[in-house]
Amino acid sequence: MSGTLAKLGGMGGPFLKAGRYISLVAPTALLLSALSIWFATTQINKVISTGAQSAANAITKNQPPKMNKRNMDAAGYAEVVNLLSRGNPAVRVQLGINKDSIVVSVADPEQMPEWVFLLSTLQSYRPGLIWTAERICLKKCEDNRAASAELTAYTQEVIVN
């Protein structure tokens, strides 16, 4: 056993001698840095939760937000009909009966891809304008049409008091 200790003493001698010079500065600095990180984290969490709470309080103190929906007027529908009817003659675009909608239709089933394309690109006509299909017919539609859709448009805004 004493031979083993002698071997360890011989191997660990330089390390043991260097250990005498290590002071309490390194462990103290490590402890202080860990405490600083913990303190900073708790303070950041407090700031975030306080900000979220005050934002929630500001919203609930006031009246709830309101939706303001405005339907497109007859002049707007006439402009859309004029623009779209020039783009693809195979697709018929016309004003609705009360001029408060547009009707998009095709006579031949082979023209359905153009009809679908026009309907899908209509959503990007004007930013903020929302289109709703009031009526869609496929096959045997009015006036012997292969496909027809009656569409209305509106804008909406959220009002927060």
Condensed to tens digits (0 to 9), the pLDDT of residues 16-55 reads 565 655 666 667 777 788 888 888 888 888 777 777 776 6
Residues 57 and 75 in one domain: no
Do 52 and 78 lie in one domain? The reply is no
Same domain, 111 and 151: yes
Overall number of domains in the chain: 2
Q: Is 42 found in the same domain as 94?
A: no
Do 66 and 159 contact (CB within 8 A), yes or no? Answer: yes
Whether pLDDT at 78 is above 70: yes
- 118 is in which domain, residue-wise? 70-159
Write out the DSSP string of the chain.
Answer: -HHHHHHHHHHHHHHHHHHTT--SHHHHHHHHHHHHHHHHHHHHHHHHHHHHHHHHHHHHHSPPPEEEEEEPPHHHHHHHHHHHHHH-TTSEEEE-TTSSSEEEEESSGGGHHHHHHHHHHHTTSSTTEEEEEEEEEESS-GGG-SEEEEEEEEEEEEE--
Q: How confident is the model at residue 11 (pLDDT cuts 50, 70, 90)?
A: low
Q: Which of 31-35, 79-83, 132-136, 148-152 has the lowest mean pLDDT?
A: 31-35
Structure tokens at 154: 């509106």
The last residue of a domain, from among 61, 83, 105: 61
Q: Is residue 84 domain-shared with residue 117, that is, in the same domain? A: yes
Residue 143 is predicted with a pLDDT of 78
Mean pLDDT is lowest, of 17-21, 56-60, 119-123, for 17-21
Radius of gyration of the chain from its Cα atoms, rounded to whole angstroms: 37
Higher pLDDT, 52 or 146: 146
Long-range Cβ contacts of 38-47 (<8 Å, 24+ apart): none
What pLDDT, on a 0 to 100 scale, did the predictor assign at position 31?
A: 79
Neighbours of 107 (CB within 10 A): 16
Q: What residues are paired with 55 via a beta bridge?
A: none
